[in-house]
Structure 1
Amino acid sequence: MSLSSALSRARGTAALFGPAFVAAIAYVDPGNVATNVTAGAVYGYLLVWVVVLANLMACLVQYLSAKLGLATGASLPESLRDRLPRGGRLAYWAQAEVVAMATDLAEVLGGAIALTILFDLPLLVGGVITAVVSTALLMVQDRRGQRAFERVITTLLVVIAVGFFAGLFVDPPPAGAVVGGLVPAFDGAGSVLLAAGMLGATVMPHAVYLHSALARDRHGRPSATALPGILRATRFDVGAAMLLAGAVNLAMLLVAATSLGGGTQELSLPAAHDAVGQSLGGVVAALFAIGLLASGLASTSVGCYAGAVVMSGLLRRSVPLLVRRVITMVPAVVILALGVDPTLALVISQVVLSFGLPFVLIPLVLLTRSRAVMGSVANHPVTTAVAVVVVALVITLNLTLIWLTVTGA
């Protein structure tokens, strides 16, 4: 292959990038910031392995979601609608909406906290501003199309990355401690709770629902001859997006572990910001806050978009954008108005997301392994086996969390 043809092929592949980067915003939302920063501050480098494992799992899950949309021409919610009775569709939609509200809670709270840090605004005012600005971002997708939305979201993803990578360049973590954190281990029920939250914050249910629709809407349903090439480009798209998201997640934990030293018993995001400022300087602390703000603004718009995809796919119903935005932001506004610790609410919201994961992962694996559904691109048996292990790990972690909570261990 000549250099010119290789460059032409690379440009063609790059032109197919985008959907995974929108989905990747879900993997660097304020819930990730809260859980990863708390994990680093409280347990040091102990839970590094959770971040790495969760992002490896995310690569597989997001690719399967995109592949489903491309091979069938239907989103995951649409595929489920065609296979569930009416009562099952309603019950499934109800749990998906609870997950969507937990998602929006995390994202609006994160934006509110960032605005409080940066401009000393009341949390309630910051939450409303976050919701309004995220709605404006959604209007880009509504009026300018998916590619314009992808460019805006990808730009915000770069801002998020800069915000959280800055601390690593100023004060790199000790390599030995990071490598030691790759060995799976827990330290009591608190670390299991955080691990479940980190998993829920990393492998996000709404991102799985959404990615199938994003891939389908970007590429349509490719012909049998075009499908292998688009799937190949999709693997690169997912790999690049998840690598960036995983690196940002790891940076969050490492900055907290390095700056706060581990062993911190109580932590809020404003306190983490102050600690980063004292340890690494005001510029790094400001970038931390800007990254958090970009995370809240981008992720809440993507989350609302995902909620619309779920409702439309399962129920064939759509709600005007502004109405849906108001409904999903109510829990966050109530939390802020009641004065509940927003950082604690962020962590708990991620645990709720973790419990919603089996409801999206099990159907995804069953559908993508079926030749009747996927045709010639059905999962290889090895892929299905790995996916089953992923689902089993999620369910096991959730059951362990329940047991530890009930027994008070």
Structure 2
Amino acid sequence: MRLLDGTEKERAEATGAGWRLPEGRPSLPEANATIAVPRHGSWLRRMLAFVGPGYMISVGYMDPGNWATDIAGGSKFGYTLLAVILVSNLMAILLQALAARLGIATGRDLAQACRAHYGPAVNLALYVACELAIIACDLAEVIGTAIALNLLFGIPLLAGVLITALDAFLLLLLIHRGFRYLEAFVIALLTVIAVCFGVQIVAAAPPVAAILAGFVPSPEILTNPDMLYIAMGIIGATVMPHNLYLHSSIVQTRAYERNDEGRRAAIRFATIDSTIALMLALFVNAAILIVAAATFHAAGRTDVEEIEQAYLLLSPLIGLGIASTLFGIALLASGINSTITATLAGQIVMEGFLRLRLPPVARRLITRGLAIIPVVVVAWLYGESGTAKLLVLSQVVLSMQLPFAVIPLVRFVTDRSKMGGFVVSKPVAIAAWAVAAVLVALNIKLLFDTFAGG
């Protein structure tokens, strides 16, 4: 690579071209720039070409891990933690918009950007942290899917855990059909989840005033260690670290014009797509907590923390026979959906940090195997109650990994030498660094309360 002289360097920094110099293979090469984007026509027609990646990443914001933390929060503390869901969702909207901007502006996903900027030791640490996050996420999906199979079809928990390994072949089938088929499958299951919870909210008939009050932050969230623990679990389940890597890659599946004008339009459409999709995630997460608060907390059942308990009590307490079945169907759809995005994220992370490429099935089976082992051991030793606690713990582990993805992302998108004309504005940069600071502060407090006894 030749060195740039002073004039060329200034021009490169102004446009962001310096960091767009080609380096190896593009992110997710089998799907990169494979989906056509109309260059003319109505705004709506061009917008529809970008619909998809936002819904793919929204899956991670309503996976089975969210269910455990939302159910525990709603049954124990009523509507109080709705504020945490709202704030974490706003954080997610900002961070995912930044991830899309990074991918489109530079042509690199977040893992590739980290490899280009940091030294080998830091990259290895970031890679390990991200893999731990993916395993924690996958662990939640294994437990959630196995529980759904048990509740709906009576399949024993251990057998259901082993069955979840077969989802690798579902992903392979969809990928071979094309990325649009993958997106359509995900959106269809998201629709199923939203409809199921829409019916349950109507049946539960929660008080609107209490819901609105719950969206106002309470100081007790920070002063009550038990509430903070679940709040951190909600943040970990909502703002998913591996989703930042995933989003920065899959936005590049669109064949937008690879020039400044094309990138600017792509960033705008991708941000709209992810914002709308994450509002759906906000509805689903809030709905789970609202149903738990209106059904369990209102009946004095503040001890409901497990998905199985919620399934068994839902229909009797709501008075709707189909409520528990809808709950199980939505859980199964959530578990299946989440496996797809976790696999793609794992592939992107491994290729970006290590430049190591494995066949998708092999990658999936390795990740799923690492998640299955602890679930099998805990289920064998402690039964269903042990897996429920493991599910909540997995979300706290996810939250602990957040700074390792958020800080590099914010560092890159606020750097003009890397982003050029696509660098974020000062107000956005301040908001992004504030989010990063809040996440780090909450993690430090959680560690202190956990290991120093509160």
TM-score computed with the length of structure 2 as normaliser: 0.86
Bigger CA radius of gyration: 2
Q: After TM superposition, give the deviation of residue 351 of structure 1 in Å.
A: 0.4
1:119-177 CA-partner distances (Å, limit 9, x unpaired): 11111211222331x31331144312211111111111111112222211112211121
Alignment CA distance shift 1:48-1:170 (3 Å): same
Deviates more, 1:146-155 or 1:325-334: 325-334
Q: How does 1:94-105 map to 2 (within 5 A)?
A: 94-105=128-139
State the match for 2:289 in structure 1: 253
Which of 30, 37, 40 is the matching residue for 2:71? 37
Q: How does 1:1-400 map to 2 (within 5 A)?
A: 8-132=42-166, 134-185=167-218, 186=221, 188-219=224-255, 222-261=258-297, 264-280=302-318, 281-338=320-377, 339=379, 340=382, 341-400=386-445
Deviates more, 1:211-220 or 1:192-201: 211-220
Equivalent residue of 1:227, what SS?
Answer: helix
Q: After TM superposition, give the deviation of residue 220 of structure 1 in Å.
A: 5.9
Q: How many residues align?
A: 403
1:168-199 CA-partner distances (Å, limit 9, x unpaired): 11122111211221222226211111001000
Deviates more, 1:31-40 or 1:226-235: 226-235
Question: Could you tell me whether the CA contact under 8 Å between 2:172 and 2:361 is conserved in 1?
Answer: no
Question: Could you tell me whether the CA contact under 8 Å between 1:140 and 1:149 is conserved in 2?
Answer: no
Question: Could you tell me whether the CA contact under 8 Å between 2:68 and 2:305 is conserved in 1?
Answer: no
1:351-407 CA-partner distances (Å, limit 9, x unpaired): 000011000000101100111111111100000101111111111111111111123
Q: After TM superposition, give the deviation of residue 306 of structure 1 in Å.
A: 0.3
Runs of at least 4 residues of structure 1 off by over 3 A? none
For residues 91 and 183 of structure 2, the distance between their equivalents in structure 1, rounded to whole angstroms, comes to 23
1:104-125 CA-partner distances (Å, limit 9, x unpaired): 1001110001111101111121
**Unaligned segments of structure 2, at least 5 residues:** 1-39
Deviates more, 1:138-147 or 1:307-316: 138-147
1:265-319 CA-partner distances (Å, limit 9, x unpaired): 3521010111111122221211111100010011012101101100000110012
Question: Could you tell me whether the CA contact under 8 Å between 2:206 and 2:294 is conserved in 1?
Answer: yes
- One-letter code of the match for 2:340? S
Q: After TM superposition, give the deviation of residue 334 of structure 1 in Å.
A: 2.6
- One-letter code of the match for 2:311? H
Alignment CA distance shift 1:221-1:357 (3 Å): farther
State the match for 1:3 in structure 2: none
- One-letter code of the match for 2:113? S
- One-letter code of the match for 2:59? I
Alignment CA distance shift 1:372-1:329 (3 Å): same
Question: Could you tell me whether the CA contact under 8 Å between 2:165 and 2:369 is conserved in 1?
Answer: no
Deviates more, 1:260-269 or 1:94-103: 260-269
Question: Could you tell me whether the CA contact under 8 Å between 1:141 and 1:149 is conserved in 2?
Answer: yes
Equivalent residue of 2:117, what SS?
Answer: coil
- One-letter code of the match for 2:238? T
For residues 421 and 353 of structure 2, the distance between their equivalents in structure 1, rounded to whole angstroms, comes to 26
Equivalent residue of 2:114, what SS?
Answer: helix
Deviates more, 1:390-399 or 1:28-37: 390-399
Equivalent residue of 1:206, what SS?
Answer: helix
Equivalent residue of 2:254, what SS?
Answer: helix
1:36-60 CA-partner distances (Å, limit 9, x unpaired): 1111011111101000001111101
- One-letter code of the match for 2:234? M
For residues 387 and 330 of structure 2, the distance between their equivalents in structure 1, rounded to whole angstroms, comes to 17
**Unaligned segments of structure 1, at least 5 residues:** 1-5
Equivalent residue of 1:264, what SS?
Answer: coil
Percent identity, please: 38
